[in-house]
Amino acid sequence: MTEKTAALKKDFEMQILAAKNTADLESIRVGFLGKKGFVTTLMQGLNDIPKDKKREAGQAINTLKQFIEEAIENKKEELAKLEWQKKIDSSESYDESLFCSSEKGSYHPITLIQREVEKVFETMGFVIENYSEIVDDYQCFESLNIPKHHPARDMQDTYYLSTGQLLKTHTSAAQNAIMKKYGAPLRAIFPGRCFRNENIDACHENTFFQMEGIMIDEDISISNLIYFMKTLLSEVFGKNMDVRLRPGFFPFVEPGFELDIKCLICDGEGCPSCKDSGWLELCPCGMIHPKVLEYGGIDTEKYTGFAFGLGLTRLAMMRYGVKDIRIFNSGNLKAFSQFEG
Ligand code: FA5
């Protein structure tokens, strides 16, 4: 039996080495581990083996099975990385010099990515809310535990209207209204355009999109938050992403985190798209501050919740391999006609 498993291992190693894409990998997996696969057949044949040899044979098959499963997982990661890099390097990602067809319209890449993220959250029971771009000071700051003269306001200077209203600086501005509208328990996402007085560069715009998400229920903890973030990223990118979680301060969450993803443009080497850090700030998040829940009319004795503020425009940069954020607001049809919806 050990000879048989050794031969199968060799055969498997040759096949996996030759695998060029995820479809090849799947057919190898089925060939070895599927219902009629080599390993499964060996397993089923165990009954016919003499009692004194059964234990050794069983162990050999299990070791082989584990080896195959691990090798397939590793190869999957490796291929996904290669396929992603190919996409970024090739014309499948955005190419400034490509011919533009004026006959056919296409969706803006932000619309495409927004719909993709919405789909992921919809299947997890989140409602989708639209919220106004013009808000008041209470919605944008006070209800988020950012009183007048709080230093956190300095980070979010914006455009003020003569009415005293302002263009919202972050989608968090809708938290209070949505809590009041639905009460608890609550799962909601609310995408929207945000405005800030920014120094514009390859990863900062003065007008950009975020998608806020909140989940409020009994016993919600940081592990729920991490689960939802991981699910989102692996669904959008089709692979496990390299992420890092750092402590981050936002007056409306406690504790608060910054979730960064490894820059896919330079694979963590450092480039203008990630300000040479190799990482891109994508999704700050945290447990909603009890004061914010109270302002939203939520019973803090009973409920806790998490919130996140996903940088949708930055997500689109990474998803489509767009190296400069300014493309998105450029109105450049040559660029947009390449995105299929
Ligand atoms: C906020 O806006 C918080 N409201 C997010 C939040 C929500 C924290 C809920 C905790 C709980 P921040 O200013 O870091 O945080 O922006 C969030 C994300 O929006 C950033 O990580 C980034 O991806 C994106 N973003 C921020 N400023 C810009 C900009 N000027 N251009 C493009 N994207 C931006």
Residue nearest to atom 2 of ligand 1 (CA): 170
Burial class (CB in 10 A: 0-12, 13-18, 19+), 109: buried
Prediction pTM value: 0.75
At 31, the pLDDT band (50, 70, 90 cuts) reads very high
Q: For residue range 229-256, list pLDDT tens digits in order.
A: 888 888 888 777 888 889 999 999 999 9
Mean pLDDT, rounded, for 173-185: 97
Report which ligand 1 atom has the smallest distance to the Cα of 204.
Answer: 31
Q: For residue range 108-130, list pLDDT tens digits in order.
A: 999 999 999 999 999 999 999 99
**Pick from 92-96, 178-182, 244-248: least confident:** 92-96
Dist. CA 40 → ligand 1 center (Å):
50
Cβ 285 under 6 angstroms from ligand 1:
yes
Dist. CA 34 → ligand 1 center (Å):
45
Cβ 8 under 6 angstroms from ligand 1:
no
Please give the pLDDT value at position 330. 87
Q: For residue range 194-219, list pLDDT tens digits in order.
A: 999 999 999 899 999 999 999 999 99
Cβ 209 under 6 angstroms from ligand 1:
no
Mean pLDDT, rounded, for 290-306: 97
Dist. CA 81 → ligand 1 center (Å):
27
Mean pLDDT, rounded, for 8-37: 91
Cβ 208 under 6 angstroms from ligand 1:
yes
The domain spans of the chain are: 2-89, 109-336
Q: Is 126 helix (H, G, I), strand (E, B) or coil?
A: coil
Dist. CA 300 → ligand 1 center (Å):
26
Q: Does domain 109-336 have CATH number 3.75.10.20?
A: no
Dist. CA 173 → ligand 1 center (Å):
12
According to DSSP, residue 155 is labeled G
Burial class (CB in 10 A: 0-12, 13-18, 19+), 178: buried
Q: How far apart are CA 338 and CA 164, in angstroms?
A: 41
Dist. CA 310 → ligand 1 center (Å):
7
